[in-house]
A and B are shown apart, each in its own frame.
Chain A
Amino acid sequence: MNGRRTRRASKYHPSRFPCGKACYAVTFSGVLCAIMLLLTAFLLLTHKHVAFEVKYLLGEGVRFRVDEVSLAFGFSASLVWFLSYLFSVPYMMRHADPHKDGKSDLFYTAFALSLIFTAGVFFSGDLFTAFLCFEFLTLSSFLLVRHEGTRESEDASSLYLFMSLTGGLLVLFGLLVLKAKTGSCAYEAVGLLSGNDLVGVTALLTLGFGMKAGLFGLHFWLPRAHPVAPSPASAVLSGAMIKVGIYGILRVYLALEGAEIQENVSFALAVAGLLNLWWGGTMALFSQNLKRILAFSSVSQIGYILLGISATGLEGHGKAMAISGTLLHVLNHGLFKSLLFLVSGHLLMTEGTVELWALKGSLGPKRNLWAFLGFIFGFAGITGIPGLNGFVSKTLIHDGLAIASNHYATFWGVVEKMFLLGSGLTALYFVRLLEVLCTGAGQRPVPHPAKSHDSAGKAESLIPLVYAGTGGLMLSIGFNPWGWLRILSFPSLRALHVSSEAVEEIAHFSFFSHETLSPALISFFGALFLYAFVRGRLRPVPQIEEDSLTARLSSLGRRISAFADTSFNKGAGLAYDALARAGNMVCHWGLHVELALQAGVNALPARAVAAPKIASQMDEETGSIWVFLFRAFQKAIGLMEMVEEEDETLVTSLAKESRILLELARVEETTLGRLYHAANMAVQEMVQDTAKIEAITNREYAEGGRVARALVEHAGQSALRMRPRVPELLLSVSSLRRVENLSITLIIATVILVLVTALALFFVR
Chain B
Amino acid sequence: MDKEILGASLALAALLLPVAAALLSCRVSALKRWLLGVIIPASCFVLVAVAAAVTPSESHYTLSFPRELPPVGLSVTADRPGLYFGMIVSAVWALVSIYCAWYLENDPHSGRFYTASLLSFSGTLGVALAGDMFTLFLFFELMSLAAYVLIIHERTPESFSAGFKYLLMTIGGSLGLFFGLILTYHTAGSLSFARGPFGASAGGFLAFMGYFLGFGIKAGVFPLHVWLPDAHPVAPSPASALLSGLMIKTGAFGLVRVIYQIFGVEYLGHTGWNMIPVYLGVVTIFIGSAVAILQDDLKRRLAYSSVAQIGYIVTGLSLLNHRALQGALFHVFGHALMKASLFMAAGVIIRLTGRRKVEDLAGLGQHLPFTFFGFSIAALSMVGIPPLVGFTSKWHIAWGALDAGMPWIVAVLLISSFMNGIYYLPIVISAFFKEKKPDIQLEGKEAPRVWVPITVLAAGIFLVGLVFGNIPLTLADQAAGSVLNP
Q: Are A177 and B402 in contact (CB under 8 A)?
A: yes
Q: Does B453 contact A (CB under 8 A)?
A: no
Given A58-B465, A58-B466, A179-B399, A173-B410 contact (CB < 8 Å): yes
Smallest CB separation, B146 vs chain A (Å): 36
Interchain CB contact (< 8 A) of A165 among B402, B418, B465? B418
Smallest CB separation, A517 vs chain B (Å): 50
Smallest CB separation, B382 vs chain A (Å): 13
Interchain CB contact (< 8 A) of A176 among B399, B422, B436, B473? B399
Given A59-B392, A179-B399, A131-B386 contact (CB < 8 Å): yes
Q: Are A135 and B386 in contact (CB under 8 A)?
A: yes
Q: Are A177 and B469 in contact (CB under 8 A)?
A: no
Given A162-B418, A169-B418, A1-B466 contact (CB < 8 Å): no
B306-325 contacts to A, CB under 8 A, are none
Q: Are B385 and A139 in contact (CB under 8 A)?
A: yes
Q: Does B354 contact A (CB under 8 A)?
A: no
Q: Size of chain B's interface in residues, with CB distance under 8 A?
A: 32
Interchain CB contact (< 8 A) of A58 among B392, B410, B425? B392
B377-425 contacts to A, CB under 8 A, are 383, 385-387, 391-392, 395, 398-399, 402-403, 407, 410-411, 414, 417-418, 421-422, 425
Taking CB atoms, residues of chain A closer than 8 Å to B386 are: 58, 131-132, 135
Given A57-B467, A176-B399, A165-B392 contact (CB < 8 Å): no
Given A131-B386, A135-B385, A161-B425 contact (CB < 8 Å): yes
Q: Does A455 contact B (CB under 8 A)?
A: no
Q: Does A158 contact B (CB under 8 A)?
A: yes
Q: Point out which of B385, B386, B417, B470 has the most chain A C-beta atoms below 10 A from its C-beta.
A: B386
Contact with B along A312-327 (1 / 0, CB 8 A): 0000000000000000
Q: Are B417 and A169 in contact (CB under 8 A)?
A: yes
Interchain CB contact (< 8 A) of A149 among B391, B433, B465? B433
Of chain B, the residue at the smallest CB distance from A143 is B433
Interchain CB contact (< 8 A) of A180 among B392, B399, B470? B399
Q: Does B435 contact A (CB under 8 A)?
A: yes
Smallest CB separation, B395 vs chain A (Å): 7
Q: How far is the CA of A354 from the CA of B425 in the complex (A)?
A: 31
Q: Does A329 contact B (CB under 8 A)?
A: no
Taking CB atoms, residues of chain B closer than 8 Å to A161 are: 421, 425
Interchain CB contact (< 8 A) of B426 among A158, A165, A176? A158
Q: How far is the CA of A149 from the CA of B363 in the complex (A)?
A: 13
B352-379 contacts to A, CB under 8 A, are none
Taking CB atoms, residues of chain B closer than 8 Å to A59 are: 392, 395, 469-470, 473
Of chain A, the residue at the smallest CB distance from B467 is A57
Q: Are B410 and A57 in contact (CB under 8 A)?
A: no
Q: How far is the CA of A496 from the CA of B363 in the complex (A)?
A: 52
Q: How far is the CA of A59 from the CA of B417 in the complex (A)?
A: 20
Q: Does B429 contact A (CB under 8 A)?
A: yes
Q: Does A243 contact B (CB under 8 A)?
A: no
Smallest CB separation, B3 vs chain A (Å): 28
Q: How far is the CA of A146 from the CA of B411 in the complex (A)?
A: 29
Q: Are A169 and B414 in contact (CB under 8 A)?
A: yes
Smallest CB separation, A202 vs chain B (Å): 15
Taking CB atoms, residues of chain A closer than 8 Å to B411 are: 173
Q: How far is the CA of A172 from the CA of B399 in the complex (A)?
A: 11
Given A169-B418, A180-B402, A1-B438 contact (CB < 8 Å): yes
Of chain B, the residue at the smallest CB distance from A162 is B421
Q: Are B395 and A176 in contact (CB under 8 A)?
A: yes
Interface of B is mostly: helix
A140-190 contacts to B, CB under 8 A, are 146, 149, 154, 158, 161-162, 165-166, 169-170, 172-173, 176-177, 179-181
Q: Does A762 contact B (CB under 8 A)?
A: no
Given A1-B438, A56-B467, A58-B386, A173-B399 contact (CB < 8 Å): no
Q: How far is the CA of A706 from the CA of B146 in the complex (A)?
A: 127
A468-491 contacts to B, CB under 8 A, are none
Of chain A, the residue at the smallest CB distance from B468 is A56
Q: How far is the CA of A763 from the CA of B375 in the complex (A)?
A: 109
Q: How far is the CA of A177 from the CA of B414 in the complex (A)?
A: 13
Q: Are B418 and A177 in contact (CB under 8 A)?
A: no
Q: Are A56 and B470 in contact (CB under 8 A)?
A: yes
Taking CB atoms, residues of chain B closer than 8 Å to A162 are: 418, 421-422, 425
Q: Point out which of B383, B414, B422, B435 has the most chain A C-beta atoms below 10 A from its C-beta.
A: B414
Q: Are A166 and B418 in contact (CB under 8 A)?
A: yes
Smallest CB separation, A183 vs chain B (Å): 11
Q: How far is the CA of A177 from the CA of B436 in the complex (A)?
A: 44
Taking CB atoms, residues of chain A closer than 8 Å to B438 are: 1
Given A1-B438, A57-B467, A59-B392, A176-B402 contact (CB < 8 Å): yes
Q: Are B403 and A180 in contact (CB under 8 A)?
A: yes
Smallest CB separation, B199 vs chain A (Å): 34
A659-707 contacts to B, CB under 8 A, are none
Q: Are B421 and A165 in contact (CB under 8 A)?
A: yes
B425-479 contacts to A, CB under 8 A, are 425-426, 429, 433, 435-436, 438, 465-467, 469-470, 473
Smallest CB separation, A132 vs chain B (Å): 5
Of chain B, the residue at the smallest CB distance from A180 is B402
Smallest CB separation, A9 vs chain B (Å): 16
Q: Are A57 and B383 in contact (CB under 8 A)?
A: no
Q: How far is the CA of A59 from the CA of B473 in the complex (A)?
A: 8
Interchain CB contact (< 8 A) of B433 among A132, A135, A146? A146
Contact with A along B37-62 (1 / 0, CB 8 A): 00000000000000000000000000
B85-140 contacts to A, CB under 8 A, are none
Of chain A, the residue at the smallest CB distance from B473 is A59
Smallest CB separation, B406 vs chain A (Å): 11
Taking CB atoms, residues of chain A closer than 8 Å to B469 are: 56, 58-59
Taking CB atoms, residues of chain B closer than 8 Å to A149 are: 433
Q: Point out which of A135, A149, A170, A181 has the most chain B C-beta atoms below 10 A from its C-beta.
A: A135
Taking CB atoms, residues of chain B closer than 8 Å to A56 are: 467, 469-470
Smallest CB separation, A127 vs chain B (Å): 13
Taking CB atoms, residues of chain A closer than 8 Å to B383 are: 165
Q: Are B410 and A176 in contact (CB under 8 A)?
A: yes
Taking CB atoms, residues of chain A closer than 8 Å to B414 are: 169-170, 172-173
Taking CB atoms, residues of chain B closer than 8 Å to A173 are: 410-411, 414
Q: How far is the CA of A161 from the CA of B422 in the complex (A)?
A: 10
Q: How far is the CA of A441 from the CA of B395 in the complex (A)?
A: 61
Q: Are A58 and B407 in contact (CB under 8 A)?
A: no
Of chain B, the residue at the smallest CB distance from A172 is B414
Q: How far is the CA of A249 from the CA of B330 in the complex (A)?
A: 33
Q: How far is the CA of A672 from the CA of B391 in the complex (A)?
A: 72
Of chain A, the residue at the smallest CB distance from B420 is A165
Smallest CB separation, A146 vs chain B (Å): 6
Q: How far is the CA of A58 from the CA of B407 in the complex (A)?
A: 23
Taking CB atoms, residues of chain B closer than 8 Å to A179 are: 399
Smallest CB separation, B368 vs chain A (Å): 17
Taking CB atoms, residues of chain A closer than 8 Å to B422 are: 162
Q: How far is the CA of A32 from the CA of B414 in the complex (A)?
A: 35
Q: How far is the CA of A721 from the CA of B418 in the complex (A)?
A: 123
Q: How far is the CA of A25 from the CA of B142 in the complex (A)?
A: 56
Smallest CB separation, A114 vs chain B (Å): 16
Smallest CB separation, B450 vs chain A (Å): 25
Smallest CB separation, A629 vs chain B (Å): 41
29 contacts between A and B (CB under 8 A): A1-B436, A1-B438, A56-B469, A56-B470, A57-B387, A58-B387, A58-B391, A58-B465, A58-B466, A58-B469, A59-B392, A59-B469, A131-B386, A132-B387, A135-B385, A139-B385, A146-B433, A158-B426, A162-B421, A165-B417, A166-B418, A172-B414, A173-B411, A173-B414, A176-B395, A176-B398, A176-B399, A180-B399, A180-B402
The 3 A-B pairs with the shortest beta carbon distances in the complex, nearest first, are A180-B402, A169-B414, A59-B469
Knowing that A56-B469, A59-B473, A165-B421 touch, tell me 8 more A-B residue pairs with CB under 8 angstroms: A1-B435, A56-B470, A58-B387, A139-B385, A161-B425, A173-B414, A176-B402, A180-B399
Q: What is the interface of chain B, defined by CB distance below 8 A to chain A?
A: 383, 385-387, 391-392, 395, 398-399, 402-403, 407, 410-411, 414, 417-418, 421-422, 425-426, 429, 433, 435-436, 438, 465-467, 469-470, 473
